[in-house]
Structure 1
Amino acid sequence: MGFNAAGGNLWTSPPWEPLGEPVVRIREVRAICTAPEGIRLVVVKVETTEPGLYGLGCATFTQRPLAVVAAVERYLKPFLIGRSVDDIEDIWQAAYLSSYWRNSPVLHNALSGVDMALWDIKGKRAGMPLYQLLGGRCRVALPLYAHAAGRDFQEVEEQVREFATRGYRFIRCQVAVPGRSTYGVKGDLSERRDWDPRAYCRIIPRLFDYLRSRVGEEVELLHDVHERVPPIDAIQLAKALEPYRLFFLEDPVSPEDAEYLRLLRSQCATPIALGELFVNPAEYVPLVRERLLDFIRVHLSAIGGLTPARKLAALCEFFGVRTAFHGPGDVSPVGHAANLHLGLAIPNFGIQEQHEFTETAREVFPGTPEIRDGMLWPNDRPGLGVDLNEQLAAKYSFPDHVLEGSWPPLRGVDGTVLRP
């Protein structure tokens, strides 16, 4: 590995060097694996030549975490050592193109870990919370949507009311399909139970008819199809739900079936949120441009980090598309902080998904954003505002299995494996 006279990497550094102040360079890049809530998280730590200065980024691809670790440590690390921490855009572009083939969740998550960490460093060097460097606040905190679920309509209603008393105005509602596999209801998803999309499509309109008649119009209701029904059934479901004025219907079709959104759009005005599985700009740019969705739901680390996400948010602004970034438990607290800072700074923020981290997770990740009154609040520390206690993180190692960490197979009544 060669370096130029100023200490930069000959293979990856641009043909210029910053003038004036001494250059702060990348000294070390490490992928840190931890699971304080039993969910596999990958965080990248970028250390610099300035003593005590480092940044953290989320690289969590919980179904294939060790592939991300290899991409970070075997490929990106030697590519990055010696680079100036200031050159975030140039580093992103060079690293993105370095594999020639690109736009995979593994490579994007690895790149995201580095990218978020460099933005974290940028904020720390400026002595500002990151949202200030992204343009400043458009709001004081991010409204969240909570997850209500139950075995029957009554249980869902009870959870909706409980969340409402805690200040939540946006609530996603899921209900079990009797005798069938069901998404979003704890303890009800088993690979030994089959999935019946027709039974599901019959029960969901009844759920929202029940809820609207009891909780009224003031609570915004959402629902996640999770891409589990044939596209034509998804269109029928969206039409059936239109009278109940959902805030949005999430993932009615899979990325492979996105062409059906044109037909769905022509049939009803139910707001659509999509994008959790997107990794390639060719998947989401046409949908935004044609106004076929209302909320973009990307997983920030899966599309490559903050650098592409802020560009996507700007694109969406011009087409009337709001953000609803993916934010479950398999986004680390560092990733949630990235969602938060970007959401604070953009005018077309829509809603943010809620995850209530345990006290254990908060001990491992000091500075994890706080939830109050149904909203996510920044702590105003420089950078992303989240740290990592590596000694504690090491106590929560990944479970020693591979298959159980994968997405469980979803099977139809006849045993066919279906898309999640």
Structure 2
Amino acid sequence: MSTASASSGVRQTVDAVWRMEAAKIVATLTRLVGDVGLAEDLAQEALVDALEQWPTAGVPRNAGAWLTTVAKRKAIDGWRRLDRQDAKYAALARDLETTHDEAWDPDRIDDDVLRLIFISTHPVLSRENQIALTLRVVGGLTTEETARAFLVPKATIAQRIVRAKKTLGDARVPFEVPDPAEYPRRLSAVLGVIYLVYNEGYSASFGRRWIRDELCTEALRLGRALAALVPDEPEAHGLVALMEFQSSRFAARSGPDGTPILLEDQDRAAWDRAQIVRGVAALERASMALQRKGTGWGPYALQAALAECHAVAPTAAETDWARIVALYDGLLQIAPSPVVELNRAVAVAMHSGPADGLALVDGISGLEGSYLLPSVRGELLARLGHDDEAAAQFDVAAPLTTNDAEREVLQRKAARARREKTP
């Protein structure tokens, strides 16, 4: 293998390790150095060392542990150069002595990761900065990837991340799970960022892969840990239920070549029934918690109920579309958005026919520049037999998505609509 090929392979390996284990690496370092900004800087320096050393030395068996150990040593070296051999340096040195090549279990939820989420969503940060920092240090997304996910310039995201780190440092935010009395004030932000990390994995906003299952797996683990931490919070259980239902379809959501497969075309025998059962149980826990609190359903529980309708239906035709429309009505009341309107329009089309759905789609605003609106409009036009118009809508949608797999699907739909055009 050429040197260039080896370096390219190592770069891919480093990227994969970072995506899967960024949260644990940064969380461990933050506990030791007490500063999330410094922790990420040290982790990035360790990544540079990996790119230099792994092509010749080989990728270590415990790559995450290797990166963490190298980053710890860089912290010690930095303190030595600054002649700051204080209690922090001594504690870090002791830690290194007792954790050489520690086992790195990717399936074990680490308290440090949960602490990192609470830091990233601390009230001193704005909502925008919370999201940017969490996707960076918990989700492992690059600055460019985070910018693409939220359709904003890369420089904007970079500024938000820098600002968030500085704000946390200036406020001397402790690295800890807050007191239970603080949970209600912090829960919404924590749920929100876990949901965003999951969504980025469920339908990747960029690249060749449509599903980034490592992000979904991490978000689901964190959601379960959070639900255990706050067992009386219905929305925590609702979010877990939603992620369980959505994850149950992974094996059927794409073909062998990674091509996305739409819900109605999926092989439901390939759905993970055990995961669906866990989703049903989590949604039941959410319902029981709601009854105890005497409050209405929140957005995550409602979305989980929507996902349950699909999960338990034997076929797409046997789905309870009337219930789905009603659930979207409820969701629009508490969490209105153009995307919810669009999803409701699709449900109406399935329940009452594509013409009714198209009439609703044509009245939606707020999705300008997104591929979602023209892609749904194209689908409904195709079902109505308006093939030329459908192809034109798919042509509009295709270049608007930054995910290669989705773009190829839209291009194929446009070509199919032209082939099926009635002479």
TM-score computed with the length of structure 2 as normaliser: 0.26
TM-score computed with the length of structure 1 as normaliser: 0.26
In our comparison, the structure showing a higher alpha carbon Rg is: 2
Greater fraction helix? 2
Greater fraction strand? 1
Higher relative contact order (CA 8 A, sep 6+): 1
